[in-house]
Structure 1
Amino acid sequence: MIPLPVFILLSLVCFCESDDRLTLGKPLSTGDKLVSSGGVFALGFFSPKNSTANSYIGIWYNKIPERTYVWVANRDSPITSGSAGKLALTNNSDLVLSDSKGSTLWTTMNNITSRINGTAAILLDSGNLVVRLLNGTYIWQSFNYPTDTILPDMPLALSTNDHLYGRLFAWSGPDDPTTGDYSMGGDSSLDLQVIIWNGTRPYWRRSAWDGALVSALYQSSTGSILSQTIVNRGGSFYLTFTVSDGSPSMRIMLHYTGMFKFLAWNNNSSSWEVFIQQPNLSCDSYAYCGPFGYCDGTETVPKCNCFSGFEPDGVNFSQGCRRKEELVCGGGGFSTLSGMKTPDKFVYVRNRSFDECAEECSRNCSCSAYAYANQKNGSITVEQSRCLIWLDELVDTGKFRDGSGENLYLRLAGSSVDKESSVLKVVLPVMASLLILACIFLVWICKSRGKRRIKEIQNRHTQQHTKNSKSDELDNVELPSICFEDIVTATDNFSVYNMLGKGGFANVYKGMFGGGKEVAIKRLSKGSGQGADEFINEVVLIAKLQHRNLVRLLGYCAHEDEKLLVYEYLPNKSLDAFLFDATKKYVLDWSTRFRVIKGIARGLLYLHQDSRLTIIHRDLKASNVLLDAEMNPKISDFGMARIFLGNEQQTNTIRVVGT
């Protein structure tokens, strides 16, 4: 016999557990509600504002004073006025919503023909309503059947062949949960992009997925970070969102106006804060700029532009752009457009290398452009390359302000381009053969020529009072002189595909030396006097500086008019790429920013006080602070730096420097 106090305690425990679930014989009636175990979400019957005639069953935030619905079961089959509703779990493990007349308004239809003991419908703290077997298996969940809202960890299918595929559908109005005109989901023909439709017409489109697992990071004013991730589940792709620990309530919704909004609850204002929304540019709506036109987000006021080689096809961009010179099959060439939103209506070609992708487009007279991406996401079940080609018109293209996006290779007409291409096909193999034959000789002379070249540049461009001291120090520089041919090979002949950045006096390329060692190679512009000064300063100064917050110089090369510096490769590039990027700046939470600030300060203290030379950088800015894989800062670009001699504490410059 169970003692009375124990019996009462067990009864209370059972009562508390039943608040978040329905079981066989325990339905939910009008006026009742389920509350998740942590009190985050509630499920029950509701009537929208200004519409008390109909009622629905849905899920809303339980602790937020502003009633916010995230899921509605019977949005197109409301319980009419004067009728009571009941949500019950049946013997076949189905959830069934019925009215007082016994009419079924909504059901899960789990297709289980026999009774399974222990089945329960449970509302989780994630906002997911699940039908769960006794062994913990989910046989149905509301996350697979969204209405207008995506919650953290809820998957949105990109793969339309999945039997669970479903779109988001906006409400018809602010107080009308019935299915509206706007919908959002994976493309019905391809598994690489998300589209918002207005009825059957595309309204907004996200550019094709390039294979990155974490494709975007967003931050609200509260400092909370929301990560957008692509998940591969058995060959089917899903878009999911996760939030940082301790974040307030965050959600993503398709608004009845067609806007795709990212929202976070602000306790200070007791309201939902919109921190990202799409489309966010005036020309960002689908195909707004017409064929061969693109929405240029780099302009102060975003506007439509034509591609190079095209002109407006009319007085405005409603008709798009047309070619200035018609294509001739087998002729012309390709122009590289960086930072682009890839167009719609592409053909997805699998299992191609970059060269094979280019050839796929070149040999097709109807191909107007191509794009290529490596999908190195660690999954052996995912294609390792993504080749897209476009036949005839390019529609819904854009250029991103923040430098994101990818390279689009656009086909252009022109006999000069064709002739140049033909000449290159003959000349390049010949040049390659000559370079191989000359390589042994060049290796022998490369090192001595490099140091001699540095001295010649120094004698022409450096100030007289530093010239002699630097000339003496060059003989003691303990850095290898790297052969120019090795650098050409490492950068694939300074391919645009390997370019990391571009400045007024130098371009920076990613290189790969033997053994898989990644480096960053700074190629100073030819004929630039300021570039020569930068070259001398960086070789002389950085070779003498050793500090964890200063970039490390690995070697240099001076070959005829070429001046190159080889640095350690820092995968996160420069600080400005995060500070001024709308999608990346949220990675810099306060702790990371503070660590970056301290690292820069340590580097400056070393330059000003603790190094063997007293050095003033003179061009310290966000673009000259590089970040390693752990977001540790390293000061770079010492081309403008000035050495203070002896007890010197001030000096005059003879020209304006830096930016």
Structure 2
Amino acid sequence: MAALGAGWPRQQDKDTSHVAVLNLLALIFATLLLLLRRSSGAGAGAGISLDTLNSGGNITDGETLLSAGGSFTLGFFSPSTTVPTKRYLGIWFTASGTDAVLWVANRDTPLNTTSGVLVMSNRVGLRLLDGSGQTAWSSNTTGASASSVAQLLESGNLVVREQSSSSSRSAAFQWQSFDHPSNTLLAGMRFGKNLKTGLEWSLTSWRAKDDPATGDYRRVMDKRGLPDIVTWQGSAKYRAGPWNGRWFSGVPEMDSQYKLFYIQMVDGPDEVTYVLNTTAGTPFTRIVLDEVGKVQVLLWIPSSRVWKEFPWLPRDACDDYASCATGKRGRVAKILVPVMAAVLVLTAAGLYLVWICKLRAKRRNKDNLRKAILGYSTAPYELGDENVELPFVSFGDIAAATNNFSEENMLGQGGFGKVYKGMLGQNIEVAVKRLGQSLGQGVEKFRNEVVLIAKLQHRNLMLQDSRLTIIHRDLKTSNILLDADMSPKISDFGMARIFGGNQHEANTNRVVGT
């Protein structure tokens, strides 16, 4: 008994110690709960609720705004693990965390410390201040007042509106992040341009995967012709093609694969835009222009908590302008080969045309030079295409035969020129009639004489044995020449008209002869 009695106080002391510990834990829990309530009360007094920042309220690095349904979060983040001191204010998809940042406020002006603070001002709306109180970013909200609030909507849109307004229409917002997209397009966002205000809704890529600064690629609306979506990197890289009501012409697989969202096109006098809308019950979907200019369509799979990517443009490097295709036969070659072939054909045709023109000009100059040397038009140029069966003699040969038309070789002179005797070659005796420049015999009369001379059978122009009969008019003694054998030669005659052998006379209106 003594032993049992001696052990009882020690057991009682042990139980008392346990009670004291439990009481201490309860006191600590109550203190923490009180502090949490006070902190919440202080936050409410400062203008912070779950999704809304009231005028004068602020959030610091480490605090966030959460949309009503919890889908989106607004807060500070660092995309780079190597440079964690660079802090940005952005919106991300809550379930995926900062791996799915949708919008960045200060993408080109990062904060260098974690002392940044977002303030809701009654003058300019939202202001992002660094540790020294300098403004790193501002919404520059027109019409902001003491009753203005900032709210993160369940659509992922950060808006500034009047506190009394509960409308979700864009017209009721004083400012909204959907009007200033970064690299991501969400359901309900516009893509295009307001023709009235000049506001443009476009996407700009990040500089790198861990750097949200403005990158090299821009995806904009091309309003020349049918509205088209084009990605630029200094010059156009690729385009989706115009919208035909079911898909973009450059992405025909949209009709069968893209049941996740649909496109609403607005083409009016005030704006030309595409509006992205998701179908009911569709998991969260976003369209991203990544840092290498690729457009990604990403669907969140809640069960596996991963992003599923759907094909878009460019599917591969060959969707870029002037890039390769399969089999190492680039689109450059596909374009340049026919272009170069056409250029070569046109060049060859042009050179041939130039050669023909030069040849004709050379011939024309040669003919003109020959005419200038001859001093008058010889038979080949004045008889046209008539086949007169008459050999042509150059002026040089005629001049040599007549001793350059010397007076000693002159046989006589008629009404239209002089007749000279000459010797062609060694044994061909000729008589040459040289027309005077001031005389009135024309080309047509000269042609008639040459044709008749060619067709007359007798070279001495005798009527006997001639195939043709000639009317002789004004036949004078001076026109009859006699050779050494006293055979008559006619130096000039009037050729008015040719008539047949069974005719005795003919009428003519042409005055000819001497």
TM-score normalized by structure 2? Answer: 0.51
Q: What amino acid does structure 2 have at the position aligned with 1:71?
A: W
Q: d(CA) in 2 for partners of 1:224 and 1:65?
A: 26
Pair 1:203-2:234 in alignment: no
Cα distance change, pair 249–220 in 1 and its aligned pair in 2 (3 A): farther
Q: What amino acid does structure 1 have at the position aligned with 2:152?
A: L
Q: How does 1:36-75 map to 2 (within 5 A)?
A: 36-50=67-81, 51-64=83-96, 67-75=99-107
- How far residue 151 of structure 1 moved from its aligned partner, in angstroms, is 0.5
Contact 2:56/2:122 (8 A) holds in 1: no
- How far residue 185 of structure 1 moved from its aligned partner, in angstroms, is 0.9
Pair 1:33-2:68 in alignment: no
Q: d(CA) in 1 for partners of 2:119 and 2:226?
A: 37
Q: How does 1:437-452 map to 2 (within 5 A)?
A: none
- How far residue 189 of structure 1 moved from its aligned partner, in angstroms, is 5.7
1:298-355 deviation line (CA, Å, top 9, x unaligned): x99997499xxxx8645xx8x776378669xxxxxxxxxxxxxxxxxxxxxxxxxxxx
Q: CA RMSD in A?
A: 3.7
Contact 2:247/2:255 (8 A) holds in 1: no
Pair 1:322-2:342 in alignment: yes
Q: What amino acid does structure 2 have at the position aligned with 1:253?
A: V
Q: d(CA) in 2 for partners of 1:84 and 1:236?
A: 41
Q: d(CA) in 2 for partners of 1:164 and 1:248?
A: 30
Q: How does 1:494-513 map to 2 (within 5 A)?
A: none
Residue matched to 2:123: 92
Q: d(CA) in 1 for partners of 2:247 and 2:293?
A: 25
Could you say what secondary structure the match of 2:99 adopts? Answer: coil
Q: How does 1:250-289 map to 2 (within 5 A)?
A: 250-288=285-323
Q: d(CA) in 2 for partners of 1:217 and 1:312?
A: 25
Q: What amino acid does structure 2 have at the position aligned with 1:56?
A: Y
Q: Which has the higher helix share?
A: 2
Residue matched to 1:121: 150
Q: d(CA) in 1 for partners of 2:96 and 2:335?
A: 51
Residue matched to 1:184: 219
Stretches of structure 1 lacking an aligned partner (at least 5 in a row): 1-7, 290-294, 328-659
Q: What amino acid does structure 1 have at the position aligned with 2:70?
A: G
Residue matched to 1:20: 51
Cα distance change, pair 190–218 in 1 and its aligned pair in 2 (3 A): closer
Cα distance change, pair 300–230 in 1 and its aligned pair in 2 (3 A): farther
Contact 2:120/2:150 (8 A) holds in 1: yes
Higher alpha-carbon Rg: 2
Contact 2:79/2:98 (8 A) holds in 1: no
Q: How does 1:272-351 map to 2 (within 5 A)?
A: 272-288=307-323, 304=331, 313-314=336-337, 322=342
Could you say what secondary structure the match of 1:283 adopts? Answer: helix
Q: d(CA) in 1 for partners of 2:216 and 2:203?
A: 11
Cα distance change, pair 138–177 in 1 and its aligned pair in 2 (3 A): same
1:413-466 deviation line (CA, Å, top 9, x unaligned): xxxxxxxxxxxxxxxxxxxxxxxxxxxxxxxxxxxxxxxxxxxxxxxxxxxxxx
Cα distance change, pair 117–313 in 1 and its aligned pair in 2 (3 A): closer
Number of residues of Structure 1 aligned to a counterpart in Structure 2:
297
Q: How does 1:551-630 map to 2 (within 5 A)?
A: none
Contact 2:142/2:174 (8 A) holds in 1: no
Cα distance change, pair 159–120 in 1 and its aligned pair in 2 (3 A): closer
Residue matched to 1:165: 200
Q: d(CA) in 2 for partners of 1:111 and 1:312?
A: 51
Contact 2:323/2:332 (8 A) holds in 1: no
- How far residue 48 of structure 1 moved from its aligned partner, in angstroms, is 1.2
Cα distance change, pair 324–128 in 1 and its aligned pair in 2 (3 A): same
Q: d(CA) in 2 for partners of 1:276 and 1:171?
A: 20
1:590-632 deviation line (CA, Å, top 9, x unaligned): xxxxxxxxxxxxxxxxxxxxxxxxxxxxxxxxxxxxxxxxxxx
Could you say what secondary structure the match of 2:315 adopts? Answer: coil
Could you say what secondary structure the match of 2:178 adopts? Answer: helix
Match of 1:109 among 140, 150, 160: 140
Contact 2:193/2:201 (8 A) holds in 1: no
Q: What amino acid does structure 2 have at the position aligned with 1:72?
A: V
Pair 1:76-2:108 in alignment: yes
Cα distance change, pair 230–326 in 1 and its aligned pair in 2 (3 A): farther
Q: d(CA) in 1 for partners of 2:341 and 2:276?
A: 37
Percent of pairs identical after alignment? 29
Contact 1:158/1:193 (8 A) holds in 2: no
Contact 1:191/1:237 (8 A) holds in 2: no
1:131-163 deviation line (CA, Å, top 9, x unaligned): 012334201100010000000111111556642
Q: How does 1:202-601 map to 2 (within 5 A)?
A: 202-209=236-243, 212=245, 218=254, 225-232=260-267, 234-288=269-323, 304=331, 313-314=336-337, 322=342
Q: What amino acid does structure 2 have at the position aligned with 1:322?
A: A
1:45-104 deviation line (CA, Å, top 9, x unaligned): 1111322021000000112357310000000001113x5111111122511111120110
- How far residue 246 of structure 1 moved from its aligned partner, in angstroms, is 1.2
Q: d(CA) in 1 for partners of 2:280 and 2:254?
A: 14
Q: What amino acid does structure 1 have at the position aligned with 2:128?
A: L
Residue matched to 1:581: none
Cα distance change, pair 20–313 in 1 and its aligned pair in 2 (3 A): closer
Q: d(CA) in 1 for partners of 2:218 and 2:342?
A: 32
Q: d(CA) in 2 for partners of 1:227 and 1:217?
A: 13
TM-score normalized by structure 1? Answer: 0.40
Q: d(CA) in 1 for partners of 2:316 and 2:291?
A: 18
1:486-543 deviation line (CA, Å, top 9, x unaligned): xxxxxxxxxxxxxxxxxxxxxxxxxxxxxxxxxxxxxxxxxxxxxxxxxxxxxxxxxx
Q: d(CA) in 2 for partners of 1:193 and 1:141?
A: 25
- How far residue 237 of structure 1 moved from its aligned partner, in angstroms, is 1.2
